[in-house]
Amino acid sequence: MAGPRPVVLSGPSGAGKSTLLKKLLKDYEGVFGFCVSHTTRNPRPGEEDGKDYHFVSRETMQQGINNGEFIENAEFSGNMYGTSKASVEDVQAQNLICILDVDIQGVKNIKKTDLNPIYVSIQPPSIEILEKRLRDRQTETEESLQKRLEAARLDMELSKEPGIFDIVIINDDLEEAYEKLKEVLTEEIKKVQESKKS
């Protein structure tokens, strides 16, 4: 696939991925494109089909997966989520750096494809800090919080495996984490900016 290399961003909920991503998209307008995932869950208030997610039926999604149209897919709390090849190609066709926000399972699935992205893991300084961040959000029931922490523990362990990520960024200082993220993407950002000039 031509165009800049996609970026796979992974890390547990509450590690600060979305915050870093928002900063990046704001500072580099017209450089990054967000890959719109598919899901079988119902839209939440304010979510738009095709912008936040492609909302599809379970049958449609399963059929796409069976046809090999998805780079990765997973199931959470009874709903299916996935990244289609077409979604990534849409972004690359606009000569943008495609950002994929996936869990560790998704990362392992993407490793089996020919996507060749830059793999970045955003990790919290510790599980205790992560728990505090999640509790401060006050959006979780105790049960769902424990589930997230369990997933985070696993994520933090797996992110230490050699060869999975090109870089693991520990987000204990947002500015520092952001600088590291920019650094690892410099080359691809330049490619896009150069091509926009010509």
> What is the set of active-site residues?
44, 137, 148
Q: What angle do CA 52, 101, 22 make, to 5 degrees?
A: 70
Give exposure, 4-39, as e/b (b: 16+ Cβ within 10 Å): bbbbbbbbbbbbbbeebbebbeeebeebbbbbbbbb
Distance CA 132, CA 177 (A): 19
CB 17 within 8 A of CB 11: yes
Residue 73 β-bridge partners: 82
> Looking at residue 85, what DSSP letter applies?
H
